[in-house]
Structures are given as structure tokens and as C-alpha cells.
Structure 1
């Protein structure tokens, strides 16, 4: 059976085969065989399936919101809510377990239907979170702090994500880790802005670094390797967003203290972000890591635009500012082109 590829992948394969043929690495017959070994699909049905299931999930959530907004149904739900929270927690836990079980059985039967199988796991994730909410209203858990009710489903997501080989569930576990760190450190700091001398953005740079380090460790475990890219993505998301927030707010202990400073005083964080983003771009290009490279480019531009709005919005004409940026990147591009040409000659 021929391999199915989309148009972008097909163009890449075509260019590669042509280059191999021009360099005489393969002959004309081998090149023709390679060209016939794959089929370019005219429409990406998998992408449509992903969007369709996300729309279906969004519509389901919207239907729940509209259901709650109905007066008659509100009275009906009120009667259900009178049911003890422990019973509601038990039944919702059974439903969540049933969804995960059904998702596994369906994946075994239809392994090619990856998108719809993951969508079923999503509903298991959702019901697990609802179970934690019900648990928080039981008598045994009335005096537990809020972070525990985030930690419990997060631990479940971590275990389920590994055992069921589900990247989607694992991503929700990493999101849960971020929420748990936020609530737990806020509790320990007694709702002050600083925890161990760090405000929320600075804390999340540490979280991001730890998750990125975990993604590196996952490379060494063949069983967990499937989680490596998703873990790296979430680590980069935490780290770069938090670092960008630091360039705006710094590490101040209150909004009132921050409101009395000039943005120029936070130049150190801006320089740090510029160095980090440029390093990420360099590392991504050198090691052919498109994910790190993309984060570096996006947040470099975000950092530059943020500094423009902070420092030059009222003083420097927009055309001049972006012309200077254009010239700077043109010089960088020209130098990179020369280095690339020298590499090809060698």
C-alpha cells in the first residue's frame, strides 16, 4: 500500500528525490519507483476530523451552558444537586472510568481512528475534573485546601496518560501541574504576591524549565518517548509566556508597587528574553528542532513589539521603528545566506 501524504509533505518528497537524482545518488528508475511509492492526498481529512471533534466538544460544552440557563431545567438540576456530594462524586468517577475504558476498547478495535478515540479520552478528563469538584463538597474534604482538588485529578491524568498512551490526557496533566503550582504556592504565601521571593511569572519560568528538563529525560525512556514532544511544548509554553510577563511586570510583590515604576527599569528582563529567544532560534536551526525554533521566533517578535509599545509608542514614528527592525533582520538574513552558501560549497 502506498504511503498517504499531504501536499506539503508530497512537495518535500518530490524535491528530495529530484535532488538525489541530480546528485546521482539514485538512478532514473529508482527515482521513478520512489515517486510511485506515495500518494498525495488532495484534501487533509485528518485535519478536518480534528477540527470537527473540537467543534463537537465545544458544542457539547455550550449545550451544557444553555441547559443550565433554562429555568425548568434549573429546577430539575437543583433537585439533583440535593443528592449528597459523595454519591455524585462516586457516580461521576464511575462515568469517567467508563469513558477511559470505552476509549481503550475502541482504540483496540479501531486503532486508525486516533482523533475520535482521543476525543473520548477528553470527556473522561472532563468528568474526572467534575468528580474532583463534587469531592470538594463532601464532609471528609471540607477542610482540605483547594490545591488538593487540583492535585488529585492531575495525578490521575499523569497515570492514565502513561498507562493508556494518551498524549491528550498527558497534556491535561501538565496543565494541572501548572494550576496546582499556582494554587499551592499562593496558599503557602498566604495570598501574597511573592513566594520564596518570586512572583507568579518568575515561578512559572521555574516550572517551565523543570518540564523542559523532564522532556529531555523522557528521550532516554523508550516507553515514555511518545510523551517527549508534548512535554517539551508545554514546558516551552510555560517558560516563554512567563518570561514575557516578567519583561512587562518584573518580579514585584504587588501591582501597586509595579504601577509606580518606569518600564525602562525592567530592561534587564527584556535583555534576558532577547538572549533566550535568539539562543532558542540558533539551537532550533542548528539541531533542526522546529518546535524550539518556532517558539524563539514568535516570542522574539512578541518581545520586540512589546518594547515598542512601552518605549516608543508616543515618541518614535511607527514607520521608523519597523524600518529599523526590517533593516536589522535583513542584515541577519544576508549574513545567514552567506554562511549557508559557504556550507554548500564545502
Structure 2
């Protein structure tokens, strides 16, 4: 059965086959066999499926919002919710289990329908959060801090994500972990808002590094290797976003204190953020990791434009600034081209 590829992927593959044939790495017959091993599809149906399921989920959430905005239905809901929170928590948990079981059965029956299977898991994720929310309203646990329930919810998502090999559930576990760190450290922070001398963005630098290290650990074990990319995505998102915020606000928790500081005094944070972006970009190029390359170049540009608005918007002429920026990237591109040529020289 031939593979179905988009036009862009087919173009890259065809170019590779031509290069192998030219370098005599494969014979003419093998090249022809490879060309007939795939077919070009004109429309990306997989992407349409992804968007359709996310739109369906979004419409479901909107329908719940409309339900809550309707006075008559809200009165009816209030009568139903007169049920004890413990009972509602158990009912929500049962519904969540039903969705998870449905997702598992669908995956066993139609493993190729990965998108709709994951979308089914989403409703289980939603009802799990509802169940934990009702649990926090029970008489026994009503005085417990929210951080405990966030950690509990994150633990459930983490276990389910690993046991069910679900990328979507695992992503919710990672984002839930970030929410727990936010809640727990804010609760333990001193009156000035600092936790161990760190404001919120600085704390998330370490959260990002921790999650990024999890992606490296996932790559070492075959059963968790499919979680490497999503874990790396969340880790880099936390890490580089936190550094970008530090380059703007520094390690200040109070906006009044930050407003008294000249932006040039935060230059060291800008240099650290820029170095982190360049390092991420270098690792992405060195290891051929598209995710690291994309994050590195995106946040490097965000940091450059942020510095521009901070330091040069009023005093530096726009033409000169962009000319310098163009020259910088021209030099980077020229150096990258040389490295590419060295890597593509035929071996003797």
C-alpha cells in the first residue's frame, strides 16, 4: 500500500530520491520503485479532521456557556445541584470513566482514528476536572487549599496519560503541573510576593527546565518516546516565556517597584534570555530538532523586537535599526549556508 503525502512532503522526498540516484547510492530501478511507493494528495484531510474535532469541542464548551447564561435553565440546574457535592463528584467521576473507556474501546477497534479517539478522551479530561471541583466543595475538604486539588488533578492526568499513552491527557498533566506550582508557591510566598527570593517568572524558568528534562528522560524509554515532543514543547514554552518576561520585568514582584527601575538596569536579563534563545536554536540545528529551531528563532525575534521597543523606539531611527537587524541576520544566514555546504560535501 502506497503512502499518501502532501505536495510539500512529496517534493522533499522526490528531491532526496534524485540526490541518492545522482550520488549512485541507489540504482535506477530502486529509485523508480521509491517514486511509486507514495502518492500525492491534494488536500490535507488529517488537518481538516484536527480542526473539525477542536471546533466540535469548542462548540460544546460554548453550548455549556449558553446553558449557564439562560435564567430558566439555570433555575432548573440549581434544583439539580441541590444534590450534595460528594454525590455530584461521584457522578462526574463515573461519567469521566465512561468517556475514558469509550476512548480505549474506540482505539482498540480503530487505532488509525487517533484524532477522534483523543477527542473522546478530552471529555473524560473535562469531567475529571469537574469531579475534582465538586470534591473541593464537600464539607470535609472545603477548607483545603486549591493547590492540593490541582496537584491531585495533575496526578490523575499524569497517571492516565502514561497508562493510556495519550498525548492529550499528558499535556493537561503538564499544564496542570504549572497551575499547581503557581498556586502552591503563591500560597507559600512571603508578604512581598517572593518565594525563595524569586518572583513568578523566575520560578517558571525552573519549571520549564524541569519539564524539558522530563522530555530527555522520555526519549530514553521506548514506551514513553511518543511523549518526548509534547513534553519538550511545554518545557520550552514555560522556559522561554518566563525568560522573556524576566527580560521585561526583572525579578520584581511589585509593579510599583519595577516602575522606578530604568529598563537598562535589566539588561542582564535580556542577555540571559537572548543567550537561551540562541542556545536553543543552536541545539535545534545541531540535532536537527524542528521544535528547538522553531522555539529558538521565534523567541529570539520576540526578544529583539521587545528590546527595540524598550531602548530604541524613541531615540533610534527605524531605518538604521532594521538595517542593522537585516545585516545581522544576513551574517547568520551566510554562516549557516557555509555550515550546510560543509555538511553536504561528498565524502572521499
> What's the TM-score, normalizing by structure 2?
0.97
Q: Which digits, 9 at most, give the CA deviation of each residue in 1:88-143, with x for residues without a partner?
A: 10100100111101110111111111101000101111111111111111011011
After superposition, residues 63-102 of structure 1 pair within 5 angstroms as 63-102=63-102
Give distance in 2, aligned partners of 1:138 and 1:25. 69
Unaligned runs of 5+ in 2: none
Give distance in 2, aligned partners of 1:240 and 1:337. 26
Report deviation, 1:317.
Answer: 2.2
Deviates more, 1:325-334 or 1:114-123: 325-334
Q: Which digits, 9 at most, give the CA deviation of each residue in 1:2-60, with x for residues without a partner?
A: 11222221111100000011111112211111100111111111100000000001111
Is 1:305 aligned with 2:281?
Answer: no
Report deviation, 1:279.
Answer: 1.3
Aligned to 1:142: 142
Structure 1 contact 107–113 (Cα < 8 Å) conserved: yes
Is 1:127 aligned with 2:110?
Answer: no
Aligned to 2:9: 9
Aligned to 2:296: 296
Give distance in 2, aligned partners of 1:243 and 1:108. 43
Aligned to 2:223: 223
Unaligned runs of 5+ in 1: none
Structure 1 pair 185/101, CA: closer, same or farther in 2 (3 Å)?
Answer: same
Deviates more, 1:246-255 or 1:162-171: 246-255
User: What secondary structure sits across from 1:223 in the alignment?
Assistant: helix
Report deviation, 1:341.
Answer: 2.8
Give distance in 2, aligned partners of 1:242 and 1:333. 28
Is 1:264 aligned with 2:264?
Answer: yes
Aligned to 1:209: 209
User: What secondary structure sits across from 2:316 in the alignment?
Assistant: coil
Is 1:336 aligned with 2:315?
Answer: no
Report deviation, 1:212.
Answer: 0.7
Structure 2 contact 205–239 (Cα < 8 Å) conserved: yes
Aligned to 1:109: 109
User: What secondary structure sits across from 2:222 in the alignment?
Assistant: coil
Q: Which digits, 9 at most, give the CA deviation of each residue in 1:262-318, with x for residues without a partner?
A: 111100010111111111111111110111111100000000000011111111122
Structure 1 contact 4–40 (Cα < 8 Å) conserved: yes
Give distance in 1, aligned partners of 2:117 and 2:203. 35
Runs of 4+ in 1 over 3 A off after TM superposition: 342-346
Structure 1 contact 186–192 (Cα < 8 Å) conserved: no
Structure 2 contact 118–166 (Cα < 8 Å) conserved: yes
Give distance in 1, aligned partners of 2:339 and 2:238. 33
After superposition, residues 23-102 of structure 1 pair within 5 angstroms as 23-102=23-102
Aligned pairs, how many?
A: 346
After superposition, residues 129-278 of structure 1 pair within 5 angstroms as 129-190=129-190, 192-278=192-278
Report deviation, 1:191.
Answer: 6.0
> What's the TM-score, normalizing by structure 1?
0.97
User: What secondary structure sits across from 2:303 in the alignment?
Assistant: helix
